[in-house]
Every structure is written in C-alpha cells, then in structure tokens.
Amino acid sequence: MPSKMISIDPSNGKETASYEISDEKKVNKAILEAQKCFGIWRQLSYKERALFLKSIAKELRKQKEKLAVLATKEMGKPIQQSRAEVEKCAFTLDYYAKEGAKFLADEMVETDARKSYVSFQPLGIVLAVMPWNFPYWQVFRAMAPAIMAGNTMLLKHASNISGCALAIEKIIKDAGAPKGLFQTLLLPSTEIEKLIANPAISAVTFTGSTAAGSKVAEAAGRNLKKQVLELGGSDAYIVLEDADLDKAVELCVNARLVNSGQSCVSAKRFIIVKSIRKEFEKRMTEKVKLASYGDPMNEKNKIGPMARLDLREQLHEQVSKSIALGAKLLCGGFIPEGDGAYYPPSVLTNVKKGMPAYDEELFGPVAAIIEARDEKDAMRIANDSIYGLGGCILSKNRARAEKLAKEELQAGSCFVNDSVHSDARLPFGGIKHSGYGRELGIFGIREFVNVKTVYIK
C-alpha cells in the first residue's frame, strides 16, 4: 500500500500537496469514535440534529471561496462552478434540517392492533465511497440525510482530492458537530472491501463508475450490508422535430459541457430526428467551437481541464475508435500541446451502435449526435443503453414530451425542456447499470434507516 496520497493540479500537472494514508490504527480509532458518537447522536431529537445541519451549512457559506479554490486546484472544476457546488451543499443541509423531522415521523397504519405504526430508526455507521468529479456535492447529498436520520458517517474519498476530503471533515468540526459524527479516511481503493467487511459498518453509499460499483456491491452483498449505488450514465437528450432549435442547442451544449463534461448526468447522447438533424448539428458545432476552455481559475473559462491525464487518454481513445468505425468529427477531437489535462470541446456525428460514442459513457467534453427516423425510433435509441440514470426530451408540445418522459424513457430522472440535474427536493438515482437506491428527497433519507413495524395489541 502506498504511504501517501498525491494531489496534482490538472491545469498544469504540478503536485500541490501530499497526504499521509490512514494506517490501520487510525482506521480502527475512527470506527470506534463513530460507534461511540452513534450511541449519543441517535438519541438527539430531530430539532437538535437540525441545528447541527444548519451550523454546517453556515460554515460552508463562510468558507465558500476557500473551498471553491481547493476543488478547482485539485480536480480542475471551473471556479464559478466550484462556488455553486458549495452553495448547493449548504442548501441541501438547510433542506434536510427543515424537512427531516417530517420525513421521518412515525406513520400510523390501521390494523387489528390497538395501535400499529411504522417508525424510521437509524442503522449506525454509513460508509461513503465517493468520486472526484463533485468533491463536495457527492458527499453532502449523501451525508445530510444520513446524519439527519441519526447515523454517523465515514468517508473514503477519491485519492486525487484528499484536500477536499479533509476540508469536509474540518468544516463539520468547525461547525461544532460532536466528535465521531463524520470522519475522513485516506485510503486507496484496494482497502474498500476490507472496510465494508468490518462488522461496525452498517451500510454503504457509493457513487462512481459501473465497474467499481459492481465490486462494492459484491463486497456489500457478501457481508449483507445495505447499499445505495449511483453509477455511470449516458444520458440521452432527444430533440423532436417541433423543438425550438435555438433553445434546444443552447440547452444541449450547456448540458454537455457542465463540469467540463465530467458528470454522470451531463448530456452524452444527442438523439435528433432526421428532419432537423443537419440543422441541429450545424448550430451545435458552431456553438461548441465558441466555448472557451483553459485555466479553470479564469472566470471567463466555462471549461477547465479533465481531472487526470489518464482520463483524457481514455476519452481520446474512445473518440478515435468511434471515428475509425465511421463517426464523423465536426470539431475538437485532439490532444492539445502544453501542460495540463485539457481536451477541446468536441462534436461527433454519424454515431452508430457498436461505436464507443454510442455504447459507452464519454466522461468528458464530447457530444455524440445520433440520427433517429422519428419519435418512435428516437425512444428506441434512447433506451438502447446499459445505462439509465437520466434523460431529457425537447419539444414545444409539453404534453407529448411529458407522456414520453413518464411512460417510455427508461431512466431514474426524466426531464422535459430542461437539463437533467439533481435537486435536494427530488429523489436521484438510476436503473439498469446506473445503479439502484435513491439519494435526496424523502426517499433518500429513508434509505439508511430501519423501516420498523411497531404493533401493540
């Protein structure tokens, strides 16, 4: 096992910091502290827990600029998006502080008993295994409902954003939360299985690739641990013939390039009906060419570098293979000279089944345009994927689009005339190889509780 975690600024390839990996002694101490805290934390009222959540939200806003800069330096997120991410975390904490007690209130059920009801009780220590692309949001959207429900949490974050992982722990301590409520462990991925097997861990929440998620699921299943998995996605944006093209192109480009294209629910496949495909791809290509990319600390740049050089190489290989199989490159598609893990905003068209751009998730600023004969064919193509995280339908006929979104599109989140995004007030998660379980909303806070029947004769 390596002795240190190294953080590298993807905008220039320079090392920014190194961190000691948590040894076995530290891991065992953290688990013990989490257990002790759970015994106290679970006894607090919802009102008392809510006060802590509000305090954490306040501390996030207080340290927003510092946290934003750290995220940008560690994984390359454009600085204005880093600030927005911190604010979104604070909003979610406030939301669960306000709504948590209502979501977890006992539910009376009429039976033959004198009194019977459903109660929601915390499970214990929740292990969060999180990715680098939203270093704060991924953690807080899992943590806020879990601790509001009375659980404690251990975080194993991605190794390239150890600074962010430790900053989250410090924020929670600065907010006055009790010792052991939330702790960060700096561990390589090879240690996850061992951690899941520890009898003190009650449940696991994981966000990341489908391949890594299947390993976490296997380990959790073998040890009979409750789990929530939010995995990869290849979201389809279906543009019907009656869509407002100006608005559709604007929305699609923004949805593809958010977070430099490194989001599970960013637009990946653009399924365009034949009658408007040429005009759509012409306008989209023109707009993508205008997208500024470069130094993520520059407020003018909407796109920063990819998080790591190896991720850029993987994306470029997918693009190159798709072109070799017949896809047409309209812009971008090359590795620029100079330092940093930059990749230019790119557009592929003539994308067909059997190409990486059709079958796989493109985790970077590359749009794949797929032509459909008509609405029926567009829905077939959209559902012809191993993924099912999100999807969008663009049409002036809202009733038509709503029916398709509700009844036909196979995904956990289906949006009409807006880009797919997570919202604390709505459940978020996928189907098929995009995972199972839900985060956020009332369903998210009820994932890591014992849904207990109480029956009094």
Q: How confident is the model at residue 1 (pLDDT cuts 50, 70, 90)?
A: low
CA-derived radius of gyration, the chain: 23
Q: List, in order, residues 6 or more apart from 75 with CB less than 8 Å away.
A: 10, 132, 133, 135, 160, 161, 164, 307
For residues 97 and 53, the answer to whether their CB atoms sit within 8 Å is yes
Pick the CATH number of 235-424 from 2.60.40.650, 3.40.50.720, 3.40.309.10, 3.90.79.10: 3.40.309.10
* pLDDT tens sequence across 356-385: 999 999 999 999 999 999 999 999 999 999
Chain centroid to Cα 2, Å, comes to 27
- Give the mean pLDDT of the chain: 97
Q: How far, in whole angstroms, is CA 273 from its chain's centroid?
A: 29
Q: What are phi and psi of 428, to 5 degrees?
A: -135, 130
| Dist CA 53 CA 272 (whole Å) | 44
For residues 110 and 102, give the distance between their C-alpha atoms in angstroms, rounded to a whole number: 20
What average pLDDT does this structure show over 89-113? 98
Beta pairing partners, 366: 346
b or e along 33-71 (b: 16 or more beta carbons within 10 Å of the residue's beta carbon)? bbeebbeebbeeebeebbebbbbbbebbeebbeebbebb
Report how far residue 268's alpha carbon sits from residue 456's, in angstroms, rounded to the nearest whole number: 53
Instruction: Report the C-alpha gap between 79 and 299 in whole angstroms.
Output: 7
Per DSSP, the three-state class of 3 is coil
- pLDDT number for residue 25: 97
Please write the tens of the pLDDT for every residue from 46-89. Answer: 999 999 999 999 999 999 999 999 999 999 999 999 999 999 99
The tokens describing 271, both together, are 């399924």
pLDDT in tens, 186-240: 999 999 999 999 999 999 999 999 999 999 999 999 999 999 999 999 999 999 9
Q: pLDDT of 149-174, one tens digit each?
A: 999 999 999 999 999 999 999 999 99
pLDDT band at 3 (very low <50, low <70, confident <90, very high): confident
Please state, in angstroms and rounded to a whole number, the distance separating the CA atoms of residues 303 and 256.
11
Q: Tell me the pLDDT tens digit for each residue of 111-148.
A: 999 999 999 999 999 999 999 999 999 999 999 999 99
Place of tokens 């806003």: 61
Domains 4-231+434-456 and 235-424 share a fold: no
Q: What are phi and psi of 20, to 5 degrees?
A: -70, 130
Report helix angle 64-75 to 46-62, nearest 10: 70
Looking at the chain, how many residues does it have? 457
What's the gap between Cα 400 and its chain centre? 29
- Amino acid symbol at 199: P
Give the model confidence (pLDDT) of 386-426 as tens digits. Answer: 999 999 999 999 999 999 999 999 999 999 999 999 999 99
CA dist 150 and 40 (Å) reads 9
Name the pTM for this structure. Answer: 0.97
Give tens-digit pLDDT for 271-303: 999 999 999 999 999 999 999 999 999 999 999
Least Cα distance to 261 among 437, 81, 83, 387 occurs for 81
What is the reported pLDDT for 202?
98
Domain boundaries, the chain: 4-231+434-456, 235-424
CA distances from 291 to 141, 158, 294, 301, 344 (A): 30, 29, 10, 8, 9
Residue 333 pLDDT greater than 90, yes or no: yes
The pLDDT value recorded for residue 37 is 98
Rounded average pLDDT over 11-23: 97
The whole-number pLDDT of residue 207 equals 98
H-only helix segments in 258-397: 274-290, 309-324, 356-359, 375-383
At the fourth CATH level, which superfamily is domain 4-231+434-456?
Aldehyde Dehydrogenase; Chain A, domain 1 (3.40.605.10)
Reduced to 3 states (helix: H, G, I; strand: E, B; else coil), residue 98 is helix
Cα–Cα distance between 432 and 437 in angstroms, integer?
11
Enumerate the active-site residues: 230, 264
